[in-house]
């Protein structure tokens, strides 16, 4: 595919000491929407997700369950795979850090860093959080009334002293700042970029990159008393999955550097500071962008296992349906900000925007076509200024969406699309085709044609967000599966008058709460 457009998007690999929750579903959903959008727009896409299976925390969780770490990770990793099917995600690869391809990749990266003088052996003495798998400077810690220190995340820390290999991170501060300066969109949103820049400007310490106090990890080449630091191991998954260390053939040449690493804001430092430093130190190009999104609360309350308000994405899908959940998560808040999940907000979006705005638009237009145009795409006369404006608005949705998706503004893309949905409903009210049926039947057909063509565009552009629902909507317009890519947007592939349509059917039923219904 010489000259083809490529796109490589990754989720973080999820840590297997727990079951999947809404945060995992949210990150992967954002990547799935992007991957689907890019494929429909003619890109050769690689979409990667997977599980991070090494480290002290996993070893401890396995011991607590009374099983060996490999058995434990096999079980928990499967739950993350199951979530992919539930949410209709279209990842091209699923990586596990316990795979042999990954061990070879990480050990090769280590060797390169060692050969280039970027890693040295010394002794580590400092504060370490097992929960975060992170080292902290004392200046970053909070001392409680009981004299116990905690990390910025609230996680407990412990004083650790052991032999350790170090990565010369302190030597990379100026080079990282130069890299950020030359690549202003490397970190998005911009508020996160400012945080990272400030952190690096404050000075970087060399990073401990091995441990000797546990064994569940990838051994350091040539010194098997040491296990590699779990973040060096985990981050390398992004190049493992494209065939590293073979940089001259296949997927590495095709897809690297990655276009986007999507991460939660809590792991931004690892991706925007440590990872580019590791790569540049090994002579490998860094990724093009790291986007750090926000967190969800539940009905205004911080989500935590201790309060029992963790949101299970599978339960959400069972209650509300898959596409409404996908839509809500991408629509409710500007991507990058924190968001609150509430039942009321979910139902409001479902009934207001999906059932009323879009579902009702398609249902009433296609019902009128079925009743008044012989169940076929209507004939149309000359278009008026109002018609042309409406068609123009629908046909420009792709250009607007491309701009929004380029900066991961999912909420903005949907808002732009909903401007067109609302405009269509306004056009229906202004043109009143039910009146035209008696007064000017040919004009009624033109109006219904314009609306059907607008619905076709809405069905095409919304596929990445709600694939199953939009497949139904495009079926109602008799659009063949091979005519559903973005190549078929625009005037050149407009609906053909006289094409027979199937009987109309609802796509978005109103949500009625069973508990409310019984009152």
130-144, 272-286, 426-440, 466-480: which range is least confident on average? 130-144
472 alpha carbon, distance to own chain's centre = 24
How far is the C-alpha of 104 from the C-alpha of 214, rounded, in Å? Answer: 21
Dihedral pair phi/psi, residue 93, rounded to 5°: -150, 150
Instruction: Say if residues 215 and 81 touch (Cβ distance below 8 Å).
Output: no
How far is the C-alpha of 435 from the C-alpha of 429, rounded, in Å? Answer: 10
State percent of the chain over pLDDT 90.
Answer: 82
What confidence score (pLDDT) does residue 1 get?
42
Predicted confidence band of residue 132 (pLDDT cuts 50, 70, 90): confident
Dihedral pair phi/psi, residue 263, rounded to 5°: -140, 160
**Pairing state of beta strands 119-129 and 134-136?**
antiparallel
What confidence score (pLDDT) does residue 305 get?
67
How far is the C-alpha of 231 from the C-alpha of 224, rounded, in Å? Answer: 18
Helix axes 22-40, 322-331, angle to 10 degrees: 90
**Pairing state of beta strands 149-150 and 158-167?**
unpaired
Within 8 A by CB and 6+ apart from 450, the residues are 380, 383, 387, 390, 391, 427
Q: Is the peptide bond before 257 cis (omega within 30 degrees of 0)?
A: yes
What confidence score (pLDDT) does residue 515 get?
66
At 368-402, the pLDDT tens digits run 999 999 999 999 999 999 999 999 999 999 999 99
What confidence score (pLDDT) does residue 2 get?
44
Whole-number average pLDDT of the chain = 94
**Quick one: tokens of 477?**
């317009």
Dihedral pair phi/psi, residue 507, rounded to 5°: -105, -35
Domains of the chain, CATH where assigned: 343-493 (1.10.730.10)
Helix axes 69-86, 313-320, angle to 10 degrees: 20
Q: 459 pLDDT exceeds 90?
A: yes
Q: What is the pLDDT averaged over residues 62-72?
A: 93
At 139-187, the pLDDT tens digits run 899 988 888 899 998 899 999 899 999 999 999 999 999 999 999 999 9
Closest CA to 50 of 69, 71, 27, 33: 27
At 397-434, the pLDDT tens digits run 999 999 999 999 999 999 999 999 999 999 999 999 99
How far is the C-alpha of 102 from the C-alpha of 237, rounded, in Å? Answer: 7
What confidence score (pLDDT) does residue 398 get?
97
How far is the C-alpha of 201 from the C-alpha of 223, rounded, in Å? Answer: 34
């Amino acid at each position: 595919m010489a000259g083809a457009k490529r796109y490589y998007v990754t989720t973080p690999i999820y840590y297997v000491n727990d079951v999947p929750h809404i945060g995992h579903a949210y990150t992967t959903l954002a990547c799935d929407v992007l991957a689907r959008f890019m494929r429909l727009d003619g890109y050769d896409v690689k979409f990667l997700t997977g599980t991070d299976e090494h480290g002290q925390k996993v070893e401890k969780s396995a011991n607590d369950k009374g099983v060996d770490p490999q058995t434990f990770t096999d079980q928990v990793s499967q739950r993350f795979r199951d979530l992919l099917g539930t949410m209709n995600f279209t990842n091209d690869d699923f990586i596990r850090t316990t795979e042999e391809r990954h061990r070879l990749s990480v050990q090769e990266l280590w060797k390169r860093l060692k050969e280039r003088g970027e890693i040295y052996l010394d002794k580590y003495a400092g504060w370490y959080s097992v929960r975060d798998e992170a080292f902290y400077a004392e200046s970053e810690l909070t001392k409680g009334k009981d004299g116990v220190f905690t990390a910025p995340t609230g996680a407990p820390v412990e004083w650790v002293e052991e032999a350790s290999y170090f990565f010369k991170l302190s030597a990379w501060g100026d080079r990282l700042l130069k890299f950020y300066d030359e690549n202003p969109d490397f970190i998005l949103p911009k508020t996160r970029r400012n945080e990272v820049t400030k952190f690096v400007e404050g000075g970087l310490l060399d990073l401990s990159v091995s441990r000797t106090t546990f064994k569940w990890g990838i051994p350091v080449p040539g010194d098997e008393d040491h296990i590699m630091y779990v973040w060096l191991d985990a981050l390398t998954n992004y190049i493992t999955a494209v065939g590293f260390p073979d940089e001259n053939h296949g997927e590495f040449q095709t897809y690297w550097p990655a276009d986007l690493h999507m991460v939660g804001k809590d792991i931004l430092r690892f991706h925007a500071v440590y990872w580019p430093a590791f790569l540049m130190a090994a002579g490998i190009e860094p990724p093009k962008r790291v986007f750090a999104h926000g967190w969800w609360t539940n009905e205004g309350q911080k989500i935590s296992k201790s309060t029992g308000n963790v949101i299970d994405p599978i339960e959400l899908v069972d209650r509300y349906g898959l596409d409404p959940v996908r839509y809500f998560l991408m629509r409710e808040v500007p991507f990058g900000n924190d968001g609150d999940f509430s039942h009321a907000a979910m139902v409001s979006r479902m009934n207001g925007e999906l059932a009323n705005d879009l579902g009702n638009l398609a249902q009433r237009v296609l019902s009128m076509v079925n009743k008044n145009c012989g169940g076929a795409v209507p004939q149309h006369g000359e278009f008026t200024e109002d018609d042309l404006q409406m068609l123009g608005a629908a046909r420009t949705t792709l250009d607007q969406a491309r701009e929004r998706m380029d900066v991961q503004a999912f909420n903005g893309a949907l808002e732009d699309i909903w401007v067109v949905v609302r405009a269509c409903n306004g056009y229906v009210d202004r043109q009143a085709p039910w009146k035209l049926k008696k007064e000017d039947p040919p004009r009624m057909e033109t109006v219904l044609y314009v609306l059907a063509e607008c619905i076709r565009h809405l069905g095409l552009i919304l596929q990445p967000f709600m694939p199953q629902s939009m497949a139904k909507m495009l079926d109602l317009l008799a659009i063949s599966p091979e005519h559903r890519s973005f190549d078929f947007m625009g005037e050149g592939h407009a609906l053909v008058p006289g094409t027979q349509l199937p009987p109309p059917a609802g796509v978005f039923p109103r949500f009625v709460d069973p508990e409310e219904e019984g009152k």
